[in-house]
Structure 1
Amino acid sequence: MSDPNDVAVRAMLAATPVLRDVVPAVDALPGMTPRTILTSGAPLPWSAYSGGQRRAILGAALFEGLAGTPAEADDLLSRGEILVQPCHDHGCVGSVTGVTSASMPVLVVEDAVTGRRGHCVVYEGSARERLTYGVWNESVHRRLLWIRDVLAPVLSTALRSAGGVPLRPVVRRALGMGDDLHSRNTAATAVFFQQMYGPIIETNGWSDSTSDVLAFISQNDLFFLHVGMAAGKCIADTASGTTGSTIVTAMALNEKEFAIRTAGTGDRWFRAPLPTLDAKLFDGIRPEDTAFMGGESLITETVGLGGLAAAAAFSLQDYSGGTAEGMVRTTEAMYAITRAEHPEWRIPYLGFRGVPFGIDAQLVARTGVTPRIHMGAALRDGGHAGAGLLIAPVEPFQAAASALEGPDPA
């Protein structure tokens, strides 16, 4: 019989993600309804959400016109007349708060091999105040409307005309140009812009709207992050349902817990209290000014990128701290808890060795080495605060390994 973990990893390595379209969430996500709001992490009851994640959910309710005031939205959420559900349960991932509502446009990434799809909302931009970071105000509202009504249709038309953008080659090139594809997406966004410039102009013509869309993509280095996240969800889900496999298919945060899923345990979440984020904060911000408010950009680490590919992105020292030597040690340690190396996604500094790929919960439980994760820091009162390194807690991996009678990974 085939080793279930080898089966799961082979499925993930075979995935060929292609960015196909940009579509309203209600039209793209399985099970999505006009009165559903998705958010990051394992599910919590509405009463347990607080701080930035709660503010973002309330903001989404107002954005969709489901309520006229935060108090009205709170009441409807409390009574279950507006539903809050995990992004992952709808084939979707979200950054930080992860809030995704019916009319928000999502990036549609399809595996050309299986037809399986992954989704993520379009990147909001680099302003410190974003719904992603727990802020709802008029400026955030205007930006979300522009993304929905201007950027999304322009990009959708171009993608459909071009037949989509294959993403494995973009990631391969970006790793060679200094990205980790989580905290740094400068090269990936540049490559994506290069590929989309022509189709955007050809299908939409030259106008103020087209110019604004091109400027938005070119001026936001992290634009590709959400494309990569949708691709990560698409890739990881190809392993889901592999009986007996301890390969990790999701890592996520809500504002209270870190949680994982594995290929052999389906939709079950294994949870632990939040670890500490060792972050380099923007000038004037203190650690006590920050707070967790969720996040699912960890899907990048789930498919070998982000912290697992730290040795590809030395320039992150200036953004999220650390040293080049430390980044190399981080990546090298990850080979001990993964089942493969990616055949195309390679790290120049390590002699073009493939990124560590296929996190095995059983190996994590056995060695005590846990995934290293690059992620952003959020202000307690809302807003982007910086970025750093998060070391995942071991307990969810131990619980997942115990839940399965998995094969010996040795």
Structure 2
Amino acid sequence: MIKFQMPNLGADMEAGTLVEWRKQLGEFLHRGDIIADVETQKGLIEIEVFEEGTLEKFLVKEGEKVPVGTVLALINDGKSEVTESTVSGEEIQKPEIHPIEDRKEIVHENTELGERIKISPLARKIAEENRIDISLLKGTGPEGSIVKKDIEKAISEVKKPIKDAEKEADKTKEISVKPSGPTSDAMRMAVAAAMSKSNREIPHYYLEKRMDMSKAMDWVKEANKDRPVQNRLLPVAVLIKAVAKALDEVPDLNATWENGLHRKNEINIGFVISLRSGGIVVPAILQSDSKTVDEIMETINDIIPRARAFKLRSSELSQSTFTITNIGEGGADKVFGLIYPPQVGIVGFGEISEQPFAEEGMLGIRPVVDVTLAADHRATDGLIGSRFLAALNRHLQNPEEL
């Protein structure tokens, strides 16, 4: 029996609100299936399962806010039997953190017809915001309950003014989906908490190296020559792939520090994305080492709009093994990052700009980038960090081999 727990989606996360179950009891779960939606300071996150089995029992109700590590459900993998009583008392006891008030009720009562309509808290919230009459809907969730996708389907199908019987008897309003997500202040507070922990607990050391980007930029230009705009590569895809190759050579930086150094088998590079509402989020480009530059570019094009719409998956927020922060065009020359715990390193790329650059006694004007490495001195030292920067530079000078 598998104990499915509230995942840790970052060092700044202490608890999350189980907004909606996406699977029904008795349903067989495959690796990668979305089992639930959880709300954190980073927004509404789709939570995946990473083991297969039959959904046996819910231990936390929709609308409850519980600490990281709380057992949310039991999944029967057919290997051993575990009953609710065998789960530790701390894991299944009612959390001290109280549920959000407007999400308590899972059953909505239709007083006019005397019926009771089962609806998830998230679905009810979206329905109320968009003036959807839930009595007209047929639920597809557990025991016929109305869930988020049922409301979203209704919104997509109904594009005409509707009557608001309670407040605006004779007025109509076109249905529109209101964007949801954390406030700018909440996002910044979450980031500040993680960075304060990093600055307080991790002994950082910093290294810097200026790198010639002329060969990489020429390679990108040549690769884009016959491509439509939507399929063109950006230099950041080359940078990410080069970092992944360098980490493969210097595995001590592709690791976490949790009572000692733990090297990771996969290279999942966290990519810092700034949000329009303020703050940042750092989703992972999973298995960056096995992806081509084109595949990394496709992932970037997919993940940035989802991050800004707060539609990331739990694996994208919890499985980073190393982080990149990239200032991009029109930004600062250098950026010195703070390590995102429990990772042990972060690399920062400043703006790629034309500058004087000397090589083999010859001075010329070339596109260059200032690269900084911040690393955890408990896990590595300056020699290892220097090896990483040297490997990164070597791969950028041979972009055709990426």
TM-score bin (small chain): under 0.3
Q: Tell which has more relative contact order, 1 or 2 (C-alpha 8 A, sep 6+).
A: 1
**More strand by percentage:** 2
TM-score w.r.t. length of structure 2: 0.24
Instruction: Work out which of the two has the higher radius of gyration on C-alpha atoms and give 1 or 2.
Output: 2
